Chains A and B, each alone.
Chain A
Amino acid sequence: MQPLLITAGIAAALSFEYRTGMRIYLSMPLVSGALVGIALGAPEQGALAGLMMQVLFLGSVRLRGRLEPDLPAAGALAAAVYATVVGAEGGFGGFEGLALFWSLCAGIAVARLGAAAYRRWERIASGPAARAAEAAMRGRTGFASAVHLGLSLSHAAWGAVIVLALFHPALAAVRILSSNLEVFAAGSIAMLPLLLPCAGAGSLLRLYADRSYVVWFAAGCLVAAVWFVFGGR
């Protein structure tokens, strides 16, 4: 029960931070994974899941009008599930790679669900926001501020609800899929943390594929290559 409540609390705070526009970015999976891991007593596992979730979205740009993945809830849930399955329960019999893979799948599903829900929420919130603006025009500015703050708090509620609803199903699914699908376990899925950063590097390459930036990208690769040639690690 405790991991569920801790994760729900963290997800609520992170969703509020992300959606209100504070942009401190504690809600980025790179940070939220570590936070959830620390809270659940498995910091390295939480941080690993957070890092892997982050590199999958490394080159994704948050621009207005685009469908935004719900990263706060996704990062917190993926890290919590992975940290619970692998870290807090004292290892998972060599199936860590599979558990990471399915935890990330659960996180991406939550990111997609949150994106769709948020788009719908923007339409639902139009009614109260418009009524609050009309009230402000009639002099009830305090009411308008209260509605604004109330709508802001709804983001925290979303973060908590999504984790409360999906944590246990996701945990059960990850346990079953990680231990019962032997065809997956037979491969080299433990190498997943080595491959996924390359996916992030590819999305960065796309982001900086512009002629004025690609030279700098190549220069970065070259400097790193020189570093490794001369014995850097």
Chain B
Amino acid sequence: MIRLWLDTLWRLPLVQGSRNARLFDGLGFLHVMLPAIRRAAPPGERRAALVRRYAGYFNASPLMAPYIAGALARMELDGSARGADPERVERVRAALSSALTARGEHLAEVILHPLALTIGCLCAMYSWYIGPVAFLLLHNLYNCMVRTGGYRTGLHLGEQTGRILAAGPFGRQRMLGGLAAFAAGLFAAFSVAHALRFGGARVAGSGLALIALSALLGRRLSALSAAALLLAAAGIYLAVW
């Protein structure tokens, strides 16, 4: 089992590398599943059937893919003698990839990533090297845990993986979300205080206006358009001031 884990471990970080409009991450996921497929079935018709099963569309968060790959590998290995029920495997794959991706993406991208970035940026405002280091440590604490442990968890628990996640990190989502919002509040106050200390009341007032403008623009525009407009607004305002 350790050999299978090691053989799969280097493939997991590249799961999204061949992302495309037709299969999404299908080819990358097949690449991840190949070691388990090779162990579950000898060369021949059954292995070909297993490859066909995984050579199609697949769309899941790269952070959740290790859990899904582990759970499916467990099912295939358990059914290696008589063959796992294809419909059941497909059902589990679809359920895990849609449910885990929706919740996992929210946890990772809306809560944990902004939390680490906010703390990193806050530190970087005071010391240029502590900020990046703090961000990398905080972000990768979760990232490395998921990458190295996710596949083993899935391999160990099989179909039960989703339930364990619901009781674990997903169950703490509200608390972590509150923490991220708290850090964002700290960042907002420190940004205004920083502007007040080094630029005076007028810069701090402009900063408050920019906070309001950014919050409003973000609702209507894409991140790129909002960033371009905010930079232009800040630049032009300061230039003509």
Contacts and interface: CB of A to CB of B under 8 A. Distances in A.
Given A58-B114, A224-B185, A194 B198 contact: yes
A219 interface: yes
A101 B228 CA distance: 11
B181 A216 contact: yes
B190 A101 contact: no
Interface string A141-156: 1001101110111010
A24 to B, nearest CB: 6
Interface residues of A, number: 103
B129 A34 contact: yes
Of B15, B203, B238, most buried by chain A (CB within 10 Å of CB) is: B238
Q: Tell me what chain A mostly uses at the interface: helix, strand, loop, or mixed.
A: helix
B148 interface: no
A143 B68 CA distance: 24
A200 interface: yes
Contacts of B234: 192, 195-196, 199
A187 interface: yes
A214 B138 CA distance: 23
B195 A194 contact: yes
Q: Tell me what chain B mostly uses at the interface: helix, strand, loop, or mixed.
A: helix
B145 interface: no
A176 interface: no
Nearest to A216: B181
Contacts, number: 355
A197 B125 contact: yes
B34 interface: yes
A9 B208 CA distance: 39
B76 to A, nearest CB: 15
A126 B23 CA distance: 7
A208 B183 CA distance: 11
B136 A31 contact: yes
Interface string A188-202: 110110111111111
A213 B177 contact: yes
Interface string A39-57: 0000110011011001111
Interface in B127-155: 128-129, 131-132, 135-136, 139-140, 143
Would you list the 5 A-B pairs with minimal beta carbon distance, nearest first? A220-B185, A202-B214, A152-B17, A21-B16, A224-B189
20 contacts: A20-B17, A21-B16, A47-B131, A133-B27, A133-B56, A147-B18, A151-B27, A152-B18, A191-B199, A197-B195, A199-B213, A199-B227, A201-B187, A202-B215, A206-B218, A208-B184, A217-B184, A220-B187, A223-B186, A228-B193
Given A67-B222, A144-B31, 15 more contacts: A24-B136, A25-B143, A44-B128, A133-B55, A139-B48, A151-B17, A184-B235, A189-B238, A194-B194, A194-B207, A199-B213, A199-B231, A220-B183, A224-B186, A228-B189
